[in-house]
Amino acid sequence: MADDLYYINEDYYYDNENSSMNRSTNLTNFNVSYGLQTNYLSDFYYHKIFPFEVPILGYLLPALIFMMTLTNVFVVGIFSRNCRKNSTTILFLSIAISDTITGLAAIPGSLLVYELKREHLTLRTCHLIFMLRLYVFPVFHTVSVWQTLALGFQRYMCVCHPFSFRAWCTIKKTSIAIAGFYIMALCIHSFHLVKEKTHKGASISLCAWVIEKPCYGSCAYMWITLLLIHILPCAVLTVMTAITIYSMRKSTMSIENINSNKESGKRRWLRDRQINFMAVSIAIAFLIPEFSNGIFYLVFIVNVYINGRILPHETGRLASAIYMVLLVVSFNFNFWVYCCMMKDFRRTVIRFLTFFYVKQGFQRLRSLSSRRSSTRSSRSSTSNSTRYRLTTQMSIKSDDVFIPSDGSNASHSNRIHCVDQSL
């Protein structure tokens, strides 16, 4: 991938079988060519920055990644909330997650190296940058590539083989496939876990991925990634997308023959057609950066493998920077596809941006408080009425006792007097 070429320099290309004296001579020539001080501290590692990398990778790329992260938060939140529990929605969610982690893996390098223009890195910084750029970034990007390929396969099966679609594209099989993608990607890119990225010399130490000469391990890794991440996915996805588009056009012509009585079947067909258009749009946006980068990667590997030379350092770094920008733009494009083609998705985003749910929450709180106050008032009125009835009854009883009628006062007083005497 071009992101791997990002750290390959023609001045780093030396034979591992050379003696330490020849290696020191190569590094000394590298030192003189870039005008470094010979007494530079040995605990720092040099990583050259070209002028075009500062605006592209230091400022533009982090801004695009920030936008992509925000939009993918919408995607994950909306699809997980309104999930219909089907395999296509699971792929939409997993693609958004893998794309987000892919972009975030490039943030530390952009901020710590290119935005600050730091060409001299500590050992920890060098290991951190290369671990994120050459392992974490490729792992999640590889998973995103294969997930996009799985999405194209699902849409192809839905359009061309609808009866087999339900048997092949189940939730369980899709989840197992995604887990398999992660396991395979972790294994493929484990090459960079054992490949050393820091190289000490007599006068300068380098922070770089050095290709050995003759090229064995590095070239094998590059051929594997070229086939499994670029050539085969792009070729298969292109063929399936073309067949899907052709089949969709044929189904559009046949749908006009459906009777007006079959409205439910027509609505189902329109919904499937909308999802197919979304998948095709995502596949096309994916193919633009991956296909161009695959061609450049193929030229680079053939040149190294056959001629024993690599392309000019600045050319590879420029191609890598352009590829990174196109890749993150394609990640952002998915969000706008969802907004344009899904009415519910667009409505949810608009409501969130206009604080509809915040206002709705305040309204619920107000209605809840008003209900509580009305409940309290009804309870207080009920208790007051109950007290009034009890007081009235007591007053009536007291009147019956203490205000007797028909001249019974004397007899009552006599009874009380008798009772008092008895006591």
- 2 closest CA partner among 289, 330, 302: 289
Q: What is the mean pLDDT of residues 7-14?
A: 37
Length of the chain: 423
Q: What is the mean pLDDT of residues 312-336?
A: 90
Report pLDDT digits (tens) over 342-367: 888 888 888 887 876 666 766 777 77
Nearest 5°: the CA angle 12, 18, 24 is 60
pLDDT at 419 over 50: no
- List, in sequence order, every beta strand (DSSP E) within 292-383: none
* Cβ contact 192:135 at 8 Å: yes
Measured CA to CA, the distance from residue 132 to residue 186 in angstroms comes to 13
258's CB contacts (< 8 A; 6+ apart) are: 265, 266, 269
* Cβ contact 178:147 at 8 Å: yes
Q: Which of 15-24, 70-79, 234-243 has the lowest mean pLDDT?
A: 15-24
* Cβ contact 209:13 at 8 Å: no
68's CB contacts (< 8 A; 6+ apart) are: 99, 100, 103, 328, 331, 332, 335
230's CB contacts (< 8 A; 6+ apart) are: 1, 290, 291, 293, 294, 297, 298
* Cβ contact 92:79 at 8 Å: yes
Task: Name the strand (E) or helix (H) holding 399.
Answer: helix 356-402
Beta bridge partners of 207: 198
pLDDT at 181 over 70: yes
pLDDT at 37 over 60: no
Q: What is the mean pLDDT of residues 189-196?
A: 88
Measured CA to CA, the distance from residue 46 to residue 41 in angstroms comes to 11
Q: Which segment, 45-54, 55-64, 297-306, is predicted with the most confidence on average?
A: 55-64
Confidence of residue 33 (pLDDT cuts 50, 70, 90): very low
CA 13 to the chain's CA centroid: 36
Measured CA to CA, the distance from residue 259 to residue 265 in angstroms comes to 10
Q: Can you give the pLDDT at residue 314?
A: 85
Token digits of residue 207: 């922070």
Q: What is the mean pLDDT of residues 204-223?
A: 83
pLDDT at 416 over 60: no
Measured CA to CA, the distance from residue 143 to residue 334 in angstroms comes to 16
Q: Can you give the pLDDT at residue 410?
A: 44
Token digits of residue 373: 């106050």
DSSP helix/strand/coil, 190: coil
* Cβ contact 99:334 at 8 Å: yes
The amino acid present at 313, given as its one-letter code, is H
Q: What is the pTM of this model?
A: 0.74
Report pLDDT digits (tens) over 106-134: 999 999 899 888 888 888 889 899 899 99
DSSP 168: H
* Cβ contact 147:91 at 8 Å: yes
- List, in sequence order, every beta strand (DSSP E) within 42-94: 45-46
Confidence of residue 167 (pLDDT cuts 50, 70, 90): confident
How confident is the prediction for the chain on average, in pLDDT? 76
Domains and CATH numbers, the chain: 2-346 (1.20.1070.10)
